[in-house]
Amino acid sequence: MKDVSFVKQVGAVAIIAGTAVGAGMLGIPFAVAAVGFNYAVMALFLVWIIMYATALLIVEANISQPLGTDMDSIANNILGKPGRVLNLVFYLLLLYSLLTAYIFMGGQLFKTYIFSWVGLANVNVAKALFCLVFGFFIYKGIRIVFRVNELFLSLKILAFVLFIAFVAPSIQVTLLEGESLGEGYIWFAIPILVTSFGFHIVIPAIRNYFENDRVFKRTIAIGALTPLLIYLVWVVATLGTVSLYGQGGFIELSATGKTLAAAYENLGQHSSLIFIKLFENFAIITSFLGVALALFSFNRDLYSIDTERKIKKLLVLVITLVPPLIFAMYFVNSFIAALGYASIFVAVLLVVQPAMMVWVVRTKQLRNNFISKIYLIIILFSGLSIIGLQLLVAFDRLPHI
């Protein structure tokens, strides 16, 4: 096995954390506010345990295959053609659903921070403009996207750190201890939280990069823990300063479709307001660029389109951005709802499928004993439960704000 430098390990942890910690983080306070801080922490730990467990299953499935094997090939080699089709379809649906959420939120931000200056109020036009502006970078190619993304990622991290620094003195223990609509709201929160721990797709790439399975496993553990710590800080900062009730509270923000920035504007916390606005914008932009680039590449390969010709490159961009734009315009009524639908595809792709793959791997290796089967069945049940919870939310069968 190759030696892996400390710098490489830190870089891999950053990739894992960066993949997980995106615009979905903006939905976490809205998802957990109604259940209160204590249950919010419990929900975060529960979802983290499930997603870390499934990450380890993907590690196990990956190690059973030769170096250089990607997620598509792993599914195909272990589950056969049905596994490859399952992986392809749900990966496509996941990327499209995430793009729908980011375009929806991007349109809201454009409407708030750009259209308000020129007297325009049409949010659908704002969503289309958001796609045009940042879709241009996708069209220009991966090198430009990387440069732009690195800039906005650096600014996002800086804005988050400064927001936490400025908001920390205003955290009220009474808000963390007292405000809740009841523990029943935890079921609404879980599917939203699931989308915030979806770093699994980078696991095969990290293994190929390291060529050292022992260090690979340790890095996955550290990388998986990093988003949890960031989210705990984020929940303390937001739930400890923004009330559940009243003007600028989470209930009012959810009902009106406003972002966290509106809460801090109402509170008169001008320094916190500046940095939460910047963080919201940079989080949406970096997440949009990352997912749009991945989907652009996926569509190009899926339809075997030669993007050397500009017209064909534009065709791939249209296939990538127009469907989620239409859904963001006409079929989705909130950022949280879009993230909720994405959780269904996350549950299939990153919870159910890994358990199925490891079941096959262990059976072939004669290691799938009774305890192993019970464990994998629990994981499968967890994935199906996440899907069930989101469907109940979608049909208004679970309480939510």
Tell me what pLDDT residue 140 has: 92
The set of residues, in sequence order, having a beta carbon less than 8 Å from that of 17 and lying 6+ positions away, is 199, 223, 226, 227, 230
**Lookup result for tokens 């599914």:** 75
The answer to whether 351 and 49 are in contact (CB under 8 A) is no
Tell me what pLDDT residue 118 has: 65
Residues in the chain, pLDDT under 50: none
pTM for this one? 0.92
Tell me what pLDDT residue 150 has: 85
Written as one letter, the residue type at 7 is V
Taken in order of first residue, the domains within the chain and their CATH numbers are 6-394 (1.20.1740.10)
pLDDT, tens digit, for every residue of 257-295?
Answer: 889 999 999 998 889 999 999 999 999 999 999 999 999
DSSP 238-277: HHTTS-SSSTTSHHHHHHHT--HHHHHHHHT-HHHHHHHH
Tokens read off for 343: 């959780």
pLDDT, tens digit, for every residue of 127-136?
Answer: 999 999 999 9
Tell me what pLDDT residue 205 has: 84
Tell me what pLDDT residue 277 has: 93
Q: Which helix (H) or strand (E) holds 316?
A: helix 310-330
> How many Å is the Cα radius of gyration of the chain?
21
